[in-house]
Amino acid sequence: MDTLWQNIVELFTSERTFSIMRALILAGAGFVAARLASGAFTRMAGKRLTAHHLLVLRRVIYYGILALFTVSVLFELGFNLSVLVGAAGILSVAIGFASQTSASNIISGLFLLGEQPFAVGDTVRVSGTEGEVLAIDLLSVKLKTADNLYVRIPNETMLKSEVVNLTRFPIRRFDLMLGIAYKEDIDAVRDILFDIARRNPLCLEEPKPHFVFTGFGASSLDIQFSVWAQRENFVEVRNTLQVEIKKVFDEKGIEIPFPHMSLSAADATAPFPVKIVEPRDTSAQG
Amino acid sequence: MNKTDNNPVWWGTFTVAAEESLLWEIGAMRLSVLRKSQEWQVAQTGYGFSETDDVTCRIARGERIADDAAMPERFIFTKTAETLRVMPQLADRPVIVRPAGAMRVLSGQETTIYVSSPLWVHIDVHEPPVALGDFPIQRPSDTWFGPSTLEGELCYAGSTQGRLRLDELPQRPHRAFTPVSIVNHSADPLLLERLSLPVPFLSLYSSEGGTLWTNGVTMRRESDTDIAEITISETPPPTEYVTHRLTGPRKKAEKNMLIRAFGALLG
């Protein structure tokens, strides 16, 4: 019994136990300090920095403090750091081969942060997916689509593919492709379109709307009508403008041609009448 | 207040009993305010595009816009009081004005053009005042002012043209006049196609007859750029007998500001 008691006392008083406890306290303190420091930074610099910069700097502070404490913890536990660093060198080659994708994503992420083609809060389109940027992380970029889906795109894909930032500039152009019947007066249609844009307060007066006659289509005269709008009003302009054009065209009797398709039951359709005629006498011409 | 037809003065302080309403008609725009025991309701119609030149004013007590014509905005209070203040208010963005035909101000010359800018109806209630909001009399079109589509600022398009003579400018109760002095100190002539009027820095004054004025603005062009040094006069224009200041500026102006004020048209 005495031996057991002695062993317990030894366990709690030994240098090793103290160093493990110190390491645990350091690790806990590290987490708390990192959290407090990044929180305090957010509160202090929150209004002066953009959401993107804030996110990046907060992460740098958090992981930086955590790394320092981790080194201290390892030191406290008696690890020889120089050996660890040497081992890490060899290990990193092995890890590098094994985690090629992750490493490539991390490096792509660093390039993305440096180049800043978009920031948190921007709306981007990447290979057909359109959404608001929620976060730019170490391995991936997270998007929220308009139908409220969470999309994770690896940083490597972001760097390799074409990224369209829809909210970079304050104004955007809406191109409406329109076809009118061949019988219509193009000048009259042009005046009507400009008047519709003038009456819509969300269509910018300057830069002026553009009217481009794009060509003679298979069944219509093809027109491109482009108007500018404030970025936030883009969808509303697209809706109101097209609805108004349809309304005014209907009022003025301007035809928008579209392909017609007739469907009928086979027995109700009479076959094309075929009439056999005598060949024409061509000897007189020759 | 009883029905007042064609009276240009549509602003002021009104007393509204519980369950009573007031209706303003300024041109095509209709705005009604209804006081209930615990809420104020504001409804508005007809502030969209309008080509009518005849803008008459009418204030009617007891009338209001029907709920099916426009859904009223509701402002909830613990208990409403009878004081209602209606004031004209200038735009919250600069207004772009075009002179009647592009003109050139030659080097060393100066001129004054009179321009008018659109107004909003500012409503506040109670004492001390609680703002219910700004409602446009006629919502102007948005426009862009800057050297390119990448650089510039969003403004409102002024629907009327600037004139060299005040009597050429139509007098309307829903617009405020500003005399703009343009001084060209640069060596090159200044081609004036568009002018950015910094209305958020201006105050509103009313004359005896109910005409609304802002402070005078002086735009000095020192070099061959579209940037102007803007000075806003402390006093209203002396050409009219201005009775008192109605509203102060939305933004505080510095003594001399450098603003992109002159612009050619974008392609």
Chain A within 8 Å of B46 (Cβ-Cβ)? no
The H or E element spanning position B41 is: strand B39-45
Are A228 and B139 a contacting pair at CB < 8 A?
no
Classify residue A255 as exposed, middle or buried by CB count within 10 Å of its CB (0-12, 13-18, 19+): middle
Side-chain-facing half-sphere of A235: CA atoms under 13 Å = 4
Are A230 and B150 a contacting pair at CB < 8 A?
no
- Across residues B6-21, what is the average pLDDT? 84
User: What is the structure's pLDDT at B231?
Assistant: 82
A151 and A230 co-located in one domain: no
In a domain, A201, yes or no: yes
What is the tens place of the pLDDT at every residue in B127-173? 888 999 999 998 899 999 888 888 888 999 887 777 888 777 777 77
Chain A within 8 Å of B142 (Cβ-Cβ)? yes
Contact B165, B113 (CB under 8 A): no
User: What is the structure's pLDDT at B75?
Assistant: 93
Q: Which domain holds residue A74?
A: 8-98
Residue B89 CB coordination number (10 Å): 22
The H or E element spanning position B238 is: none
Distance, first Cα to last Cα, chain B: 52
The structure's pTM equals: 0.74
Please give the structure tokens belonging to residue B91: 């735009």
Using CB atoms, pick whichever of B140, B144, B265 lies closest to residue A201.
Answer: B140
Full DSSP string of A33-64:
HHHHHHHHHHHHHTTTS-HHHHHHHHHHHHHH
A140 and A175 co-located in one domain: no
A161 and A183 co-located in one domain: no
Chain A within 8 Å of B49 (Cβ-Cβ)? yes
Those residues of chain A that have pLDDT short of 70 are 1, 11-12, 52, 262-272, 281-286
Contact B36, B80 (CB under 8 A): yes
Contact A123, A166 (CB under 8 A): yes
The H or E element spanning position B239 is: none
Interface test with B, best of A205, A231, A241 (most B CBs within 10 A): A205
In a domain, A281, yes or no: no
Are B49 and A199 a contacting pair at CB < 8 A?
yes
Are B143 and A206 a contacting pair at CB < 8 A?
yes
Q: Which residues of A touch B48 (CB under 8 A)?
A: 199, 201
Interface test with A, best of B144, B196, B262, B265 (most A CBs within 10 A): B144
A148 and A179 co-located in one domain: no
Are A205 and B96 a contacting pair at CB < 8 A?
yes
What is the tens place of the pLDDT at every residue in B72-131? 999 999 999 999 999 999 999 999 988 887 788 888 898 888 888 999 999 999 888 899
In a domain, A190, yes or no: yes
What is the tens place of the pLDDT at every residue in B232-249? 887 766 655 666 788 888
In a domain, A276, yes or no: no
A175 and A161 co-located in one domain: no
ipTM comes to 0.81
Contact partners, residue B211, CB within 8 Å, separation at least 6: B8, B171, B177, B240
A24 and A83 co-located in one domain: yes
- Across residues B199-210, what is the average pLDDT? 86
| Mean pLDDT, chain B, integer | 84
Share of chain B above pLDDT 70, in %: 90
Please give the structure tokens belonging to residue B218: 């002086």
Share of chain A above pLDDT 90, in %: 31
Domain ranges, ordered by start, for chain B: 4-87, 90-119+141-263
Share of chain B above pLDDT 90, in %: 24
Q: Which residues of A touch B143 (CB under 8 A)?
A: 204-206
Total count of domains within chain A: 3
Strands B212-214, B204-207: parallel, antiparallel or unpaired by DSSP? antiparallel
By C-alpha distance, which of B208, B142, B200, B202 is closest to B178?
B202
User: What is the structure's pLDDT at A150?
Assistant: 95
Tell me the shortest Cα–Cα distance from B74 to chain A, in angstroms.
25
Is pLDDT at B2 greater than 60 in this prediction? no
Residue A60's domain is classified under what CATH number? 1.10.287
- Across residues B33-47, what is the average pLDDT? 91
Is pLDDT at B4 greater than 50 in this prediction? no
A200 and A246 co-located in one domain: yes
By C-alpha distance, which of B197, B217, B203, B206 is closest to B240?
B206
A190 and A155 co-located in one domain: no
Residue A185's domain is classified under what CATH number? 3.30.70.100
Contact partners, residue A157, CB within 8 Å, separation at least 6: A126, A127
In a domain, A194, yes or no: yes
By C-alpha distance, which of B258, B175, B168 is closest to B221?
B258
- CA atoms of B45 and B59, how far apart (whole Å): 15
Contact B141, A205 (CB under 8 A): yes
What is the tens place of the pLDDT at every residue in A239-259? 999 999 999 999 998 888 887
Using CB atoms, pick whichever of A199, A202, A208 lies closest to residue B142.
Answer: A202
Tell me the shortest Cα–Cα distance from B154 to chain A, in angstroms.
8
A92 and A158 co-located in one domain: no
What is the tens place of the pLDDT at every residue in A70-88? 888 888 887 777 777 787 7
C-alpha R_g of chain A: 35
Are A198 and B194 a contacting pair at CB < 8 A?
no
